[in-house]
Amino acid sequence: MARTDVRGIVVPAALGEVDRVRRFLRDYIAGLGLDEQDSLKVELALHEICVNVALYAYPGEPRGDMAVRVWQEDGALFIEVRDRGVPFNPVKKKNPNVLVRLRRELPGGLGVYFYRTLMDGLSYRRVRGENVLTVRKSLQ
């Protein structure tokens, strides 16, 4: 089946731009019929991905951009985030021991775990110097 209703946004990879990307996503998913819980899962997943890009993709200066595309295909919502930062494959990252992290009050380290568990699929590839992360959420 073909991709439908493809939309995108490119923003500087900065924490101050994350809310702009979240508004873009909220506008996109408003008419998809997702219940409130799934809408929040999708929004939180994209938030965590964008925060990770903003914090870690571009160490030093100059900072680069992140590009976000969303579309529907085969009864699912897809979100793709691209950056030209340092290579990072979240698929290979092991899940943390969440209880230990919470008990010890260790900061950070849960972003990849969150978007991996909130969404129904995750893929990564490195293409022509870009990190390409795609997450999927079933619409059915």
pLDDT, tens digit (0-9, with 9 covering 90-100), for 127-136: 999 999 999 9
pLDDT, tens digit (0-9, with 9 covering 90-100), for 93-117: 676 555 555 555 545 555 566 678 8
Task: Please count the residues of the chain.
Answer: 140
Which pLDDT score, from 0 to 100, does residue 135 have?
96
- 23-27: which pairs have CB atoms within 8 A and are 24 or more residues apart? 24/68, 25/68, 25/70, 25/79
CATH numeric code, 4-138: 3.30.565.10
Which pLDDT score, from 0 to 100, does residue 63 have?
87
pLDDT, tens digit (0-9, with 9 covering 90-100), for 23-64: 999 999 998 989 999 999 999 999 999 999 999 999 987 889
pTM, two decimal places: 0.86
Confidence band, pLDDT 50/70/90 cuts, at residue 74: very high
In sign, the C-alpha dihedral spanning 55, 60, 61, 62 is negative
Q: Round the average pLDDT of the chain to a whole number and report it.
A: 87
Place of tokens 């972003």: 111
Cβ 84 vs Cβ 24: under 8 Å: no
Cβ 120 vs Cβ 136: under 8 Å: yes
Confidence band, pLDDT 50/70/90 cuts, at residue 67: very high
